[in-house]
Structure 1
Amino acid sequence: MNSYECGCDTIHDKQSHILEYHIKDILKEPDLHENQPWKQQEILETLCWITREASSTVLQDSIHLLLPPLLIVLDDYDPDYKKQGVVMVHDMILKLDASFVSSYGIDNLFLESLFKCLTYLSQERDIELLQATYPCILDLIAKVKKNRIQLYERVLTEGVLTGFSYAGQKIKFLPILIVPIGTLYQALGILGVQYLKALVPVLTDALCMVSSHPKLKQIHVLAAHALRVVIKTCWPRIPYYKGRIMASIAKSWTFYYEQKDQAMCDDIKQVYQVFEAACQGQHKLDQEALLSFNPTLFQPLFF
């Protein structure tokens, strides 16, 4: 913003002054709208600066000027530019009141573009786009008044579950796809039961995955947290998956118990405790089999 000059007298804080008094002047400059040079670094940095630094009042007052360029950047074919668009939209959403978001139709303007971002699952360049998009779309849905549950459900089905289908074998994508699951199941409640058939295998496989990849432990931690939330939320149906869940817990426990990783053992034990509560005794045969196989290893898990 150092290139912008105004004729105002005595200014102690130039950036604050420009944000408060000259945002509309910048956004109304003819060249910005006639040539649409949104891929020029200086212009993109200006937009990023405005959405990052402007107050909610300034954003609301200038929203009609901000939306066109934001949509252009967000809908660009290049994942790098799309990511910048997502970041700007997220910065703006966090500052705007839910009532303003709904009344101005901001949710309708951005949601479909954000859902499209969730389908970028093939290239390394897509990773940062996905990382930016999930928190953005969840924060936007949280400010939507109508059809909120249906939108969370779309994030789960069109985002997370589709992501596992196309990129679940790519270990760099796994943490990004696992992170939103807890939030989504807390929002969906018992409605999430219908997706257990697709989700439980993914989470149990992630919990006991073996790899030399440096992100492996992060994946285990995230899978343990997500599985706890899913079990707590959908506990009436969990006994149906007891064999798969118990096997996953046992494998993960064995690995970290032998590694003497107390923090990870505590996480796995918490998964077992909510699993035990959900099963209400229906898992006892599996528990007894493991204790019979190696009591020294499994007693600390079960008792």
Structure 2
Amino acid sequence: MELSGLVRALRLEAPGPEPPPAGLPPGLPPAQQLLPQIQRLLSPGPGRAPEAAVLRELGAVLEAADCEGLLRGAVPAALGALAAALGGFAAPPRQEQEGADLPPRAGSGAATAERAADVGAVFLRLLGKLEAARSREGLGAAAVGPVLRRVEGPVFVLAATHLVEGPWTSGGSRGVAQELLAALLRAAGCGSVAEFLRGKSEEEEEEGRFAAVLGLLQHELTKDTWECNPATKLVFCWTLPQVTRPWLSPHLERVLPPSLLLSDDYREENKILGVRCLHHIILNVPAAELCQFNRAQVVYHALYNHLYSREAPLIQAVLLCLLDLLPILERAQRWQQQSSPTAPCHQVLQLVLTQMEAEHRLALRRVYARALPAFLQRLGILMVRHLKRLERVILGYLEVWDGPEEEARLGTLEALRCAIEHAWPRMPCRLPVLLPALLKMIWDVHTDQSPTPEPVRAALLQGATECLILLDRCSEGQVKVLLEGVSRSCEEPRVRECLRKVQESA
């Protein structure tokens, strides 16, 4: 088999007292010529060895090779080209962009997983040799580093592609991927994936491997190609969160465009992936860099458009992301000495309240209600611009039971408490509508026959009681006066307990 040339090249590069085995023909090919031979063997065609047989032979070659021979001469460059070729060979087949959202053809996923498992086994042999060379006296990390730098990118991408279950994976390929990632970290001397990607420490100024991984993924993450390989987006979305502040900042120009592309897709799953990537970037890149070239504004407009969606998981991801982006936008406006009544936070809250007021789906009502207190907290007293709509939303949400966990009503009570604390001068005039709504909710919770857990009922009653106490304080005792008659006529012990707490509050 032509692959025997690799054995000869490795043995020639490895010094030692043993002469080459007898019977070898003269004119052995140099190491840099090995890649075309292997590519020819792996290419389909008549008279070629089967792919699995070629990979098994290649694994056996690496197993038999001398550790020191892998680190000398032209062999490291040949191994780097070999790793790149094997990584491309094991990658899932590209799809036409028009049909990128279609499932893979029958059998193609199983074939891809089988190829990946075979290539992973070859990589495991190679990493085993490099790990042995790293601990060998006279070699160490300095000798292994140049070779490892050439092969670790394709190895990492292959492992990340098959770590998570997908149409192109199988139980075998996922098991090999886990072993491969663990072997790669051992060979690199790293304790975690994050350390592998970013470098061991900022003080040592050791460059991580994130740039190399992005280099391999970048040509598959452009506007015209990202839909052709669905595995690439998952590798990117899994790798990006591993790199945090301050290591992510130098890669901003390379990670922001793919995140925006994903978030702009028409499929909800891709939108959520993109929004989560954008959120990670917002949390781990300095605000000054995000504000350069209006990057933060671009991200804001991309997120704002998603607020018109009707999917609860996407809305939840967008609202969480906006909560961390809004302070950056406000800081940028202060730097530019701009002041506008239509500031981003006001725009978002106005749209959220508009959506909440007309929303009837419980899943979305829960998402909105959980996020509302944080937006009110951020605006503070400036929420008075939205009090009329906010009041209608609070009244409507307190009336409706939304499930055993009562997430919507608990979030609404928290929003009301926040509104009373920050906009208390505007609350006394709203007692005629807020006080009956809170009392009605207390009575409904007490008499409710639904399977609501007792801790949830107690939390609702406690939240309503706290709101009544705050209303009493900001109205200079009017609530106590209005509740005197109710306390005397009420016979339900649980309701009387809530009213007693209000009456006895300082």
Q: Please give the TM-score of this superposition, normalised by the length of structure 1.
A: 0.85
Secondary structure in structure 2 of the residue aligned to 1:280: coil
Partner in structure 1 of residue 148 of structure 2 = 8
Match of 1:26 among 213, 225, 230: 213
1:262 maps to 2:438:
no
User: Judging changes above 3 Å, is the alpha-carbon distance between structure 1 residues 55 and 184 closer, same or farther for their aligned structure 2 residues?
Assistant: closer
User: Judging changes above 3 Å, is the alpha-carbon distance between structure 1 residues 214 and 39 closer, same or farther for their aligned structure 2 residues?
Assistant: farther
Post-superposition offset of 1:83: 0.8
Match of 2:269 among 75, 80, 97: 80
- Residues in 2 aligned to 1:187 and 1:48: alpha-carbon distance in whole angstroms: 29
Post-superposition offset of 1:141: 1.4
Matched letter for residue 152 of structure 1: C
Secondary structure in structure 1 of the residue aligned to 2:219: helix
Post-superposition offset of 1:31: 3.4
- Residues in 2 aligned to 1:210 and 1:73: alpha-carbon distance in whole angstroms: 36
Q: Structure 2 matches for 1:44-83, cutoff 5 A?
A: 44-83=233-272
Q: Structure 2 matches for 1:112-151, cutoff 5 A?
A: 112-121=301-310, 126-144=311-329, 145-147=331-333, 150-151=343-344
Match of 1:208 among 374, 392, 399: 399
Larger Rg: 2
- Residues in 2 aligned to 1:37 and 1:102: alpha-carbon distance in whole angstroms: 26
Secondary structure in structure 2 of the residue aligned to 1:174: helix
Which structure has the higher relative contact order (CA within 8 Å, separation 6+)? 1
Matched letter for residue 347 of structure 2: R
- Residues in 2 aligned to 1:162 and 1:105: alpha-carbon distance in whole angstroms: 28
The runs of 5 or more residues in structure 1 that have no matched partner are none
Using the TM superposition, name which of 59-68 and 81-90 deviates more. Answer: 59-68
Match of 1:248 among 428, 437, 443: 437
Matched letter for residue 142 of structure 1: P
Secondary structure in structure 2 of the residue aligned to 1:228: helix
Aligned residue pairs, count: 294
Partner in structure 2 of residue 198 of structure 1 = 389
Q: Structure 2 matches for 1:157-196, cutoff 5 A?
A: 157-158=350-351, 160-167=352-359, 169-196=360-387
- Residues in 2 aligned to 1:19 and 1:7: alpha-carbon distance in whole angstroms: 19
- Residues in 1 aligned to 2:247 and 2:227: alpha-carbon distance in whole angstroms: 21
Post-superposition offset of 1:230: 0.7
User: Judging changes above 3 Å, is the alpha-carbon distance between structure 1 residues 280 and 97 closer, same or farther for their aligned structure 2 residues?
Assistant: same
- Residues in 2 aligned to 1:11 and 1:183: alpha-carbon distance in whole angstroms: 43
Indicate conservation of the 8 Å contact 2:249/2:286, yes or no.
no
The runs of 5 or more residues in structure 2 that have no matched partner are 1-85, 89-122, 124-145, 150-186, 200-207, 335-340, 449-453
Matched letter for residue 151 of structure 1: P
Indicate conservation of the 8 Å contact 2:357/2:393, yes or no.
no
1:57-108 deviation digits (Å, cap 9, x = unpaired): 3321111111221111111122221111001111121122223323464312
User: Judging changes above 3 Å, is the alpha-carbon distance between structure 1 residues 104 and 47 closer, same or farther for their aligned structure 2 residues?
Assistant: farther
Indicate conservation of the 8 Å contact 1:24/1:65, yes or no.
no
- Residues in 2 aligned to 1:34 and 1:76: alpha-carbon distance in whole angstroms: 11
Matched letter for residue 281 of structure 1: G
User: Judging changes above 3 Å, is the alpha-carbon distance between structure 1 residues 39 and 172 closer, same or farther for their aligned structure 2 residues?
Assistant: farther
User: Judging changes above 3 Å, is the alpha-carbon distance between structure 1 residues 136 and 23 closer, same or farther for their aligned structure 2 residues?
Assistant: same
Using the TM superposition, name which of 248-257 and 17-26 deviates more. Answer: 17-26
Q: Please give the TM-score of this superposition, normalised by the length of structure 2.
A: 0.53
